[in-house]
Chain A
């Protein structure tokens, strides 16, 4: 895939925001890196929100309220990816914590 592929950069950018490595427009504009705990909180919140949207969509499909298959499946996929992202964030947080704890003072 081309390096200029915008969605690829969007994904890297989003990940970068979440992991607090800066390098995105918003962080540079505000002049400070986003607080990691805020970012983690947002990730958890968003994944919960997308998960519940997904649950509502699945329920609607099962009860026959809607037969829009494409929307339900797309939202299921988004939910899965958002959760995966949140897990990646959590793992990084734990890694960082361990590294700090292992530092010789």
Chain B
């Protein structure tokens, strides 16, 4: 019951962890920009989460799981269970050495992701301040 007041913080925390994971993947791509045959990876999270939120609001899931061994594809998991996924981009590259890291794209993603991380921390702090005011006010 008391945990309910931390629902927003917990959701924000999941976003924070996903952003950090994304930075690890981006930095690994950048580290391997000159490695022969290396294929870049990405983190997918926000799209899956938004989709799960949409489905939860409409209160209908396209797939119903009636047995514990039914497999639910990631895009249709309940909101609480959606997690970040690391995917590898296996597409062929324009470079002769088979490396498909696009350094400009990675740098843009790095900047966007950093801003996202800082914003999420701001929101978490905001949330804690709000709760503090409500409790002690």
Contacts and interface: CB of A to CB of B under 8 A. Distances in A.
Interface in B18-54: 20
A60 interface: no
Interface stretch (B7-15, B60-68, B86-94, B95-103): B7-15
A11 B131 contact: yes
A85 B130 contact: no
A11 B5 contact: yes
B8 A10 contact: yes
Contacts of A6: 8
Given A1-B130, A13-B4, A46-B2, A88 B135 contact: yes
Contacts, number: 63
Interface residues of B, number: 23
Interface string A1-26: 10000111011111101100000001
A78 B9 contact: yes
A12 B135 CA distance: 8
A23 to B, nearest CB: 14
A78 B16 contact: no
A13 to B, nearest CB: 7
Nearest to A86: B2
A14 B4 contact: yes
B132 A14 contact: no
B57 interface: no
A77 B5 CA distance: 13
A66 B135 CA distance: 31
B38 to A, nearest CB: 27
Nearest to A77: B128
Contact of B2 (A1, A7, A8, A43): A43
Contact of A74 (B9, B130, B135): B9
Interface string B114-137: 000000010010011011101110
Contacts of A71: 13
A59 interface: no
Interface of B: 1-9, 13, 16-17, 20, 121, 124, 127-128, 130-132, 134-136
